[in-house]
Amino acid sequence: MSRRGRLLLFALGGATLAAVLVIAERGLPSFGDYHGVYGRVVQATEPVLRRATDLVTALNFDLRAFDTVGEEFILFASVAGVALILRRMRDEDDRALASTPQEHRFTGASDALQLLTLALVPTFIALGVYVIIHGALTPGGGFQGGIVLAAGPLAMLLAGRYLALKRLAPVWALESVDAAGAMAYVLIGLGGLVFASSALQNFLPLGTPGQLLSAGTMPLSSIAVGIEVTGAFLLTWTEFLDQALIVERRH
C-alpha cells in the first residue's frame, strides 16, 4: 500500500479504536475509587499466613508464583533468543584484541570518570544484593534487585574496561548463571510439591515478620530470580555491545 493509503486506513481504524476504548473505560469505577475484593483479601490473609510485609512480593513469589515462573522463562527464552539472533555469522570475526585489558580503552573516558565509575561498581552490587535479599520485607525483590546488580559490572563499560568485563563474565558463564537461576526457581516450586501438598507452595518455616529469614521460601525465590535476571541482562547487554565494539565483517 502507498504511504498515504496506509495512513488513511489507520486514521479510520485508530479513531474508531480510540472511541471503542473510551466507551469501554466509561464503565470503570472512577479513578481512586477501586474497591475490588482481591487486594483486600490478600491484605487480610497474607500477613497472617505467610508473614511477608511486602504484599507485592508475596503475590509475586507465593500467591501468583506460577505467573512468575512463566515470566522468568519469558526472560530466559528472550535471552536465548538474543544469543541465537546475535550469534556470529559465517563472514564475521571477533576483532583482534590487545593482550592486557587495561590497555584497551573503548570509550575514551577521562580518568575522573573512570575512577568514579569504578567506585560505583561495588555500590551497585551491594545495593542489588540488598534489594534482592529484602524482597519479602521492603519494596523490591528479585527482578528489581537483579537489574541493579547487573548494572554493577555494566558500569565497567563506562570506565572503559569492557574487555575486563568480558573476561570477568564470559558468555558461557552468564548463560549458566541465567539457566541456574531459572532452574533454581523451578526446583523451589517442585520442592513445594515434595515437601508440602502442592507445587509452588511455601514450605519453609515462616519466622517472624520483618526478620531477614522469614516468609518461608520467598527470600530463596527472590534470590533465584535475582541470579537469573542478573545473568540474563548481563548476557543481553554483552551480546549487543559485542556487536557494536567487537564483531566485524571479514574482508
Closest approach of other proteins to the CB of residue 133, in Å: 14
Choose, by CB under 8 A, the member of 125, 143, 153, 165 that binds other proteins. 143
Which window, 94-102, 109-117, 155-163, 179-187, contacts other proteins (CB under 8 A)?
179-187
Pick out residues in 68-127 that bind other proteins (CB under 8 A): 68-71, 73-87, 89-90
Smallest Cα–Cα separation from 50: which of 39, 63, 41? 63
Pick out residues in 9-38 that bind other proteins (CB under 8 A): 9-10, 12-38
| CB of 22 or CB of 112, closer to other proteins | 22
Handedness of CA 134, 136, 142, 144 (dihedral sign): negative
- Tell me the chain's radius of gyration from C-alpha atoms: 23
Pick out residues in 188-247 that bind other proteins (CB under 8 A): 189-190, 192-193, 196-202, 210, 236, 239-240, 243
Smallest Cα–Cα separation from 207: which of 225, 220, 226? 220
* Inter-residue contact 29 to 35 (CB < 8 Å): yes
Other Cβ atoms less than 10 A from the Cβ of 10: the count is 11
| CB of 122 or CB of 248, closer to other proteins | 248
Lookup result for grid cell 556470529:
88
Closest approach of other proteins to the CB of residue 250, in Å: 13
